[in-house]
Amino acid sequence: MEHEEVSGEPVELKVKDLTPETKSVNVTVKVVSIGEPEAVPARGGGVRHVTEATVGDETASIIMSLWEKQGEGISEGIVLWIENGYVSLVRGHMRLNVGKYGQMSPSDTAIAEVNTEENLSDADHATARRSELGEATDLRHRKGPWASTGYGEDDERREKGRRRPRQDFDQYY
C-alpha cells in the first residue's frame, strides 16, 4: 500500500500504514512504554539525548524516537497527536519521528487497546532489501575497491589504473 504526500500536505494514517518511506504524516498514537534517555554521538561532534518510546494504535505499534526535550512530560498511557511526522530507519528498523518541522501534542482521542503483537520496528528492512536485491546491494558493510558501485565498469577501470590524458591535449600545455 503506497502513501504519497499530496500537494505537500501531511496525510493522516494508521500505524500499520507507515512505511520506511513515509514522510509528512499525521498519526494519533498511545504510549505503551517509554525508555530512559540515552546519549548518542551527534553529527558534527557533541552528544544528543534520545528517548525511545513504544507507541501505537489498534492496528500496530512502532518505536518513536524522542530527541532532547521531546520526551519531557511523556508517560505511559498518554495519547499523542503527531503532526507532520516522518519515519526513519535506524540500523534497518523503522522509527517514528516528530522532527523540527513537526509537532506533538496530547490528544483527547481514546485508544483503548494498542496492537503490540505487530510492531513495525521489529522488521529488519536492511535484511529485506538484501534478500530482494542480492547481497552486494547492502552498502553498510562494503569495503575494498569495489565499495563505490559494486558493478563491473568502474571496477574494470580501477583495475587497469588511471586513464592517461588524451595525447592531443598534451600539446597545448
- Does the reported pTM lie above 0.75? no
| Domain range list for the chain | 11-123, 129-161
Cα distance between residue 25 and residue 13, in whole Å: 7
* Segments of the chain assigned E as strands: 11-12, 25-34, 38-41, 47-56, 61-67, 79-90, 93-97, 103-106
| Residue 7 confidence (pLDDT) above 70 | no
- Cβ atoms of 61 and 14 within 8 Å: the answer is no
Whether residue 168 has pLDDT greater than 60: no
Q: Looking at residue 138, what is its pLDDT?
A: 47
The average confidence (pLDDT) of the chain is: 79
Examine the pLDDT at 159 and tell me if it is beyond 90: no
pLDDT, tens digit, 9 for 90 and up, residues 94-153: 999 998 889 999 999 999 999 999 999 999 887 655 445 544 444 444 444 444 444 444
CB atoms within 10 A of CB 29: 27
CATH code 2.40.50.140 for 11-123: yes
pLDDT digits (tens, 9 = 90+) for 16-36: 999 999 999 999 999 999 999
- Residue 118 pLDDT: 95
Cα gap 10→27, rounded to integer Å: 10
Q: If you search the block for the grid coordinates 504526500, which residue do you land on?
A: 5
Name which of 101, 133, 114, 119 is nearest 9 in CA terms. 101
